[in-house]
């Protein structure tokens, strides 16, 4: 049985009380904090940087933080996120001049390394780096925004990525990101994903007034 993990994307969280939001989703059973970094250069949006990752660690978050770097260039931010306590650091291959070196930088810093594939980005970027990967992240929406719809063609791409991981014999996590909901997550899992990012599905859920407002949606996922 695959080791499934739920990774709420904080992009859709209430940033006025981000620490509490992260505490609440973790208390409700989430496994990994998906930390969306956008630089208004690689994607047309601007979010948060290493300082906020460090603030979550200082707040007492011990769960893995999965830093999804939608930035260009990549390398300078890798060190900053390692210093800020990121557990996984993933980047888009199109955003690095030297993919192998960027992956090595992440691992040399003691974090886990991953590549992120936009919907139209071919998996051939995997051909020569499987031995340097701890995670493969497939985007099922075009990066830059939460609340978009799942791109159905991603299911075949998941199957392809899953067979590449099996063939490699390596313990590489397969993460899916974008438009994941209660009503499509089972099909996505069957296609081979084991780590599920969900932003609006979780943080957009109806908010009860008690602290356990995320239990039902995370339980459903």
- Binding positions for ligand DX5, rule: CB under 6 A: 9, 11-12, 34, 36, 68, 70, 141, 143-148, 177-180, 197-201
Q: What phi and psi, each to the nearest 5 degrees, are found at residue 23?
A: -55, -45
Active site residue 36: yes
The rounded distance, in Å, linking the Cα atoms of 77 and 69 is 8
Collapse the DSSP code of 58 into the 3-class scheme (helix H, G, I; strand E, B; otherwise coil) and give the result.
Answer: helix
- In the chain, what is the greatest distance between 2 CA atoms, to the nearest angstrom? 50
Encoded one letter per residue, x for contact with Zn ion by CB under 5 A and - for no contact, window 171-210 reads: ------x---------------------------------
What does 93 interact with, of Zn ion, ligand DX5, none (CB < 5 to 8 A by kind)?
none
Binding site, annotated residues for a divalent metal cation: 34, 36, 68, 177
Q: Confirm if 204 and 12 have CB atoms less than 8 A apart.
A: yes
Q: Which is nearer to Zn ion, 125 or 145 (CB)?
A: 145
Question: Are 102 and 72 in contact, with CB atoms under 8 Å apart?
Answer: no
The interface partner of residue 180, options being ligand DX5, Zn ion, none and the CB cut-off 5 to 8 Å by kind, is ligand DX5
Closest CA to 111 of 89, 83, 93, 91: 89
Q: Are 114 and 134 in contact (CB under 8 A)?
A: yes
Cβ nearer to Zn ion, comparing 24 with 177: 177
Could you tell me the end-to-end alpha-carbon distance of the chain, in angstroms, rounded to an integer? Answer: 16
* Shortest Å distance, C-beta 140 to ligand DX5: 8
Per CB under 5 A, which of residues 65..94 are in contact with Zn ion?
68
Catalytic residue status for 177: yes
Catalytic residue among 24, 31, 39, 177: 177
Which residues bind to Zn ion, rule: CB under 5 A? 36, 68, 177
Residues assigned a catalytic role: 36, 177
């Amino acid at each position: 049985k695959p080791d499934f993990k739920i990774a709420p994307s904080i992009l859709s969280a209430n940033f006025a009380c981000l620490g509490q939001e992260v505490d609440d989703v973790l208390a409700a059973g989430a496994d990994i904090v998906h930390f969306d970094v956008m630089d208004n250069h690689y994607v047309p949006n601007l979010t948060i940087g290493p300082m906020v990752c460090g603030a979550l660690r200082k707040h007492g978050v011990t769960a893995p933080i999965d830093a999804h770097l939608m930035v260009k260039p990549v390398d300078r931010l890798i060190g900053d996120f390692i210093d800020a306590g990121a557990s996984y650091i993933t980047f888009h291959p199109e955003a690095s001049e030297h993919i192998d070196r960027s992956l090595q930088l992440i691992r040399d810093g003691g974090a886990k390394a991953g590549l992120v594939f936009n919907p139209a980005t071919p998996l051939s970027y995997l051909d020569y780096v499987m031995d340097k990967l701890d995670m493969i992240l497939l985007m099922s929406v075009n990066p830059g925004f939460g609340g978009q719809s799942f791109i159905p063609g991603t299911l075949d791409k998941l199957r392809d990525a899953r067979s590449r991981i099996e063939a490699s014999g390596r313990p590489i996590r397969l993460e899916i990101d974008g438009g994941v909901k209660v009503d499509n997550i089972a099909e996505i899992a069957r296609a081979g994903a084991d780590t599920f990012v969900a932003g609006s599905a979780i943080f957009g859920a109806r908010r009860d007034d008690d602290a356990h407002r995320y239990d039902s949606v995370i339980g459903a996922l």
